[in-house]
A = this chain, B = another copy of it.
């Protein structure tokens, strides 16, 4: 299975975006070849996290954003009462921590859903660099704005769509993100548990489970545990649009 682990350089501490297979998805995509060194200079090679380990914790001092190199990460907010709300899933090439850039402390907790490696971008250095590289600054605005849009999209899903529509939307989102990485868009394994899906989509675990089996019975997907095969992508897309079409015939 395609993993995004870059070749080792002579210097073990310096990242090598040049060789990283994700350079066309990650921050480097915004940067000209000859400026890439300046980005590499500020990257701290992050360590490897095992499943369940925290990359960072809510309410601890915010220092860095992290790019996922391999594996996957879930972010969540813990309320005063101890309730967890999953706010996002992050896959290789995606940047985690942008929601914390307004605060002294991390606004959420990030933990590895599986064995996961990351690149660390200390914010002070990152901000300094984006001040010098307009393209990189532009890309940061782009990413953050994208994250706002994603979150609005989620809010919309939560407030207006049925359980089936929410789950179809999630499956399609994962699908396209696997595709971006040149992996199969129809045959993948979910990095997260049903529980996380439920929490993220504002549903009960039982409901998620039921919808999965319903989709399976309809021949739209095949699911055994976390292994998923999308048998009928068009049907899934139809499900996500069902709602809006019905209410405006």
Q: Which residue of B lies closest to A146 (CB)?
A: B102
Q: Which residue of B lies closest to A88 (CB)?
A: B152
CB-based contact A99/B159 at 8 Å = no
Partner of A244, one of B83, B131, B155, B244: B83
CB-based contact B148/A99 at 8 Å = yes
For A80, the chain B residues whose CB sits under 8 A away are 241, 244
* Interface-central residue, A128, A145, A148, by most chain B CB under 10 Å: A148
Tell me the interface secondary structure of chain A in the complex: helix
CA distance A91 to B142 in the complex (A): 24
A77 on interface, CB distance cutoff 8 Å:
yes
For A83, the chain B residues whose CB sits under 8 A away are 160, 243-244, 247-248
A172 on interface, CB distance cutoff 8 Å:
no
For A201, the chain B residues whose CB sits under 8 A away are 159
With contacts A77-B152, A87-B152, A248-B83 taken as known, whether A101 is within 8 angstroms of B142 at the C-beta atoms is yes
CB-based contact A82/B248 at 8 Å = yes
Q: Which residue of B lies closest to A198 (CB)?
A: B159
For A154, the chain B residues whose CB sits under 8 A away are 151, 155
Please name the 9 residue pairs, one residue from A and one from B, whose CB atoms are nearest each other, closest first.
A81-B244, A159-B202, A151-B151, A101-B145, A102-B145, A99-B148, A158-B158, A144-B144, A102-B146
* Chain A residues within CB distance 8 Å of chain B: 77, 79-83, 85, 87, 98-103, 107-108, 127-128, 130-132, 134, 137-138, 140-149, 151-152, 154-156, 158-160, 201-202, 241, 243-245, 247-248
